[in-house]
Amino acid sequence: MNREKSDAPKPEKEERRRSSAPSGDKGPKKESNRRWLFLVVDILLLAAIVAAVLFLVSLLTPFSLFDSDREEVRRVTYTVELAGVERDSLGALKVGDAVVDSETGATIGVVTAVNSRAYEVYTDVPVEDEDLNSYVVTKATYPEEFNTVTVTLSVDADYEAGVGYTVDDCRIAVGRTYELNFPGYAGSGVCVAFNAE
Amino acid sequence: MKNTQEKKPASRIRFNVVDAVLILLAILCIVGIWQRKNLQSLFDSGEALESYTVTFEISKMRSTTVNLLAKDTALYLEDNGTRVSLGTLAEQVSTSAATVYLQDGDGNTVKAVYPQDDHEYLLDVKGTLNCRGIEHDGIFLLEGKTYLAVNRTVAAHTETADFEIRITGIQKVTG
């Protein structure tokens, strides 16, 4: 019995024929898809590198793009006390004046109130007070020529949690000493009161 | 005999170990940025910080400033340009009239109090801070990095006030 050759192509031969077909037969569309795939991989690689850099910067420096302690602007009113201001200079301190901190160059507020009183200093001479049953530090009052002036300032300051209030790198806080430049006067003063809205 | 070796079809997507490592690194970076604050603490101190109470004094503080030192107020200090947490006030600070030692007319050294007037009243302040730190060979390090000891005076600040405090005691919180 002769075996007849089957005309139907064997499955393996079909496969071989398909795989050996030149690549150009796959078409420009599939070539384009491959290019897009490589582009996506490149973008992912770049994203990985950028993420690594951001991570290192965020970890090792104070700078952070995702910092939740963002600054917010708040209105603050504070009082600075200037000691020993000469009487002739009192007129140079006016409501409405813009005041500059000479150290930072920042405009740290607009004058909203000016008050003056006699200039007094504590002495080294104690006096016995019978009511208190104790010695009391005495004060010496300077002549009327010299005054203690309290200037109230108002400004929009940047607030940051943990830092407090700043105006262009000049921190506003009770207890700080400022070298103040008024339009017609320059002097040193200490912040003695503070209020934020 | 025909070469039965079949040509392997060219794979469209090649994914190897290098790709896997890169993708893993990208995922770790994203998680790292998200959890950066927790990771930062690992770099800052190799040991776990413990709870301490630190007592302090402030001399001749204005009464209006004392009002800013309420319970749970956070204090900070600057250490080499870095802000370090001094902790929070355990309770409202206690006050007494500020005092100073002077010589009276007879040359005797006497303790005198600062008077209270309409414009200012100077007070001596005492307070307690809840903070964290570690102790190495008897040396206390605030937040694991800043040296603090009894009698040390440091420039401290809250968000609204600057002042100097003198450390009077450091105690570890037990239990």
Please determine, for residue A18, whether its predicted confidence score (pLDDT) is greater than 70: no
Q: Does A9 or A137 have the greater pLDDT score?
A: A137
Instruction: Find where tokens 């303790």 sit.
Output: B111
pLDDT for the residue B6: 53
In this complex, is the C-beta atom of A163 within 8 Å of any C-beta atom belonging to chain B?
A: yes
pLDDT for the residue A1: 47
Please determine, for residue A100, whether its predicted confidence score (pLDDT) is greater than 90: yes
In DSSP terms, which residues pair with B35 in a beta bridge?
Answer: none
Looking at beta carbons, which pairs linking A27-36 to residues 24 or more positions away fall under 8 Å?
A34/B12
pLDDT for the residue A61: 63
pLDDT for the residue A105: 93
Tens of pLDDT, residues A61-85: 655 555 545 579 999 999 999 999 9
Tokens representing residue B52 in the block? 């301490």
Q: For residue A19, what pLDDT band results from cuts at 50, 70 and 90?
A: low
Please determine, for residue B43, whether its predicted confidence score (pLDDT) is greater than 80: no
pLDDT for the residue A140: 93
Task: Give chain B's mean pLDDT.
Answer: 86
Q: What mean pLDDT comes out for the span A125-132?
A: 90
CA A164 and chain centroid, separation: 10
Tens of pLDDT, residues A109-123: 999 999 999 999 999
d(CA B32, CA A182): 49
Please determine, for residue B31, whether its predicted confidence score (pLDDT) is greater than 50: yes
In a 3-state reduction of DSSP, which class is residue A179?
A: strand
pLDDT for the residue A53: 78
Instruction: Provide φ and ψ at A106, rounded to 5°.
Output: -85, 140
Single-letter residue type at B41:
S
Contact A66 B33 (CB under 8 A): yes
Ranges A16-30, A106-120, B31-45, B57-71: which has the least confidence: A16-30
Q: How many CB atoms lie within 10 A of CB A79?
A: 20
Chain A residues touching residue B58 (CB < 8 angstroms): none
Best residue of B123, B162, B163, B165 to probe chain A, by most A CBs closer than 10 Å: B162
**Residue among B103, B114, B160 whose CB faces A194 most closely:** B160
d(CA A175, CA A193): 9
Best residue of B8, B13, B18, B29 to probe chain A, by most A CBs closer than 10 Å: B29
Q: What is A53-118 written as a DSSP string?
A: HHHHHHHHSS--TT-S---EEEEEEEEEEEEEEEGGGGGGS-TT-EEEETTT--EEEEEEEEEEEE
Instruction: Provide φ and ψ at A91, rounded to 5°.
Output: -65, -15
Tens of pLDDT, residues B99-130: 999 998 889 999 999 988 877 889 999 999 99
Percent with pLDDT over 90 in chain A: 58
pLDDT for the residue A111: 97
Residues across chain B: 175
pLDDT for the residue B27: 82
Q: Which of A18-22, A46-50, B13-17: highest mean pLDDT?
A: A46-50
In this complex, is the C-beta atom of A39 within 8 Å of any C-beta atom belonging to chain B?
A: no
Q: For residue A9, what pLDDT band results from cuts at 50, 70 and 90?
A: low
**Residue among A19, A52, A164 whose CB faces B9 most closely:** A19
For residue B20, what is the nearest residue in chain A, using CA coordinates? A45
Strand B50-62 relative to strand B162-172: parallel, antiparallel, unpaired? antiparallel
Contact B36 A117 (CB under 8 A): no
Instruction: Find where tokens 């917010």 sit.
Output: A72
Q: What mean pLDDT comes out for the span A21-46?
A: 70
Tens of pLDDT, residues A139-160: 999 999 999 999 999 999 999 9
Q: Which helix (H) or strand (E) holds A164?
A: strand A164-167
CA distances from A116 to A82, A84, A113, A142, B119 (A): 9, 10, 10, 13, 11
Q: For residue B18, what pLDDT band results from cuts at 50, 70 and 90?
A: confident
Q: Could you tell me which of A141, A153, A172 has the C-alpha nearest to residue A114?
A: A153
Q: Does A103 or A23 have the greater pLDDT score?
A: A103
